[in-house]
A and B are shown apart, each in its own frame.
Chain A
Amino acid sequence: AIRMTQSPSSFSASTGDRVTLTCRASQGVRNSLAWYQQRPGEAPKLLIYATSTLQSGVPSRFSGSGSGTDFTLTISYLQSEDFATYYCQQYYLYPFTFGPGTKVDMK
């Protein structure tokens, strides 16, 4: 199975910050990479699919990039509602696999 890693596992930030999260796959996944946001007690919410395509209704401050094995999610201007855990997922090969998540909390 493809192993997904994310860094950092957690970090503290302030509203207004530019935040970059990293996801790495143990082998190439083409562009079949998605990013989710999950707030405590809620279901995950799709932010980005196909590496860089913004899901309908998601604010444009979220963007994704990368290819092959290395991917990033950028939040250009962190808002209070963005404090959450972020997961990447590859859907190139079965079994689809998630990264362990990056928790973004308030500094």
Chain B
Amino acid sequence: EEQLVESGGGLVQPGGSLRLSCAVSGFTASEHSTDWVRQAPGEGLEWIGRVGNKASRYRTQYAASVEGRFIISTDDSKNSVSLQMSSLKTEDTAVYYCCRSPHGSIGDSWGQGTLVTVSS
């Protein structure tokens, strides 16, 4: 059974950094694209970025709201995907989800999410 588990969320001050991890089991992370999606409290879903599969040489794409501040990468040795967040703003406060996106589809398996709170 495919499973994704996010970790690393917590409270961070504005301007700070945080690294989220998405541990994958039941499949090989490098064989699929992985998307990160966030949801601010009481709000809708926002796609923030993607890392492509190994065949795409792990090509990344980002939303304008996080471009230049967030970096998504795949760790083959750990079968995981990470989201490195820097220069955090209060508006980055949200539950962050990772999801698997197979070729031809999108978001077919999701983690449970991890809460990031940016506050002083």
A17 to chain B, nearest CB (A): 24
Q: Is the CB of B61 within 8 A of A34?
A: no
0 or 1 for each of A16-31: is its CB under 8 Å from B? (1 = yes): 0000000000000000
B108→A46 contact, CB < 8 A: yes
Beyond A50-B104, A50-B105, whether A98 also contacts B110 by CB under 8 A is: no
Check B11 for interface membership: any CB of A closer than 8 A: no
Known contacts A97-B47, A98-B45, A98-B46; A89/B106 CB under 8 A: yes
Do residues B111 and A43 form an inter-chain contact, with CB atoms below 8 A?
Answer: yes
For A100, give the chain B residue with the smallest CB separation: B44
Flag whether A65 is at the interface (Cβ < 8 A).
Answer: no
Q: How many residues in B have their beta carbons less than 8 Å from beta carbons of A?
A: 23
- Residue of B61, B107, B108 touching A94 (CB-CB under 8 A): B61
B55 within 8 A of A: no
B45 touches A87 (CB 8 A): yes
Binding site for A on B (CB under 8 A): 35, 37, 44-47, 50, 61-64, 97, 99, 101, 104-108, 110-113
Knowing that A38-B45, A89-B45, A95-B64 touch, tell me 14 more A-B residue pairs with CB under 8 angstroms.
A36-B45, A46-B108, A49-B104, A55-B105, A87-B44, A87-B45, A89-B47, A94-B50, A95-B63, A96-B35, A96-B50, A97-B47, A98-B37, A101-B45
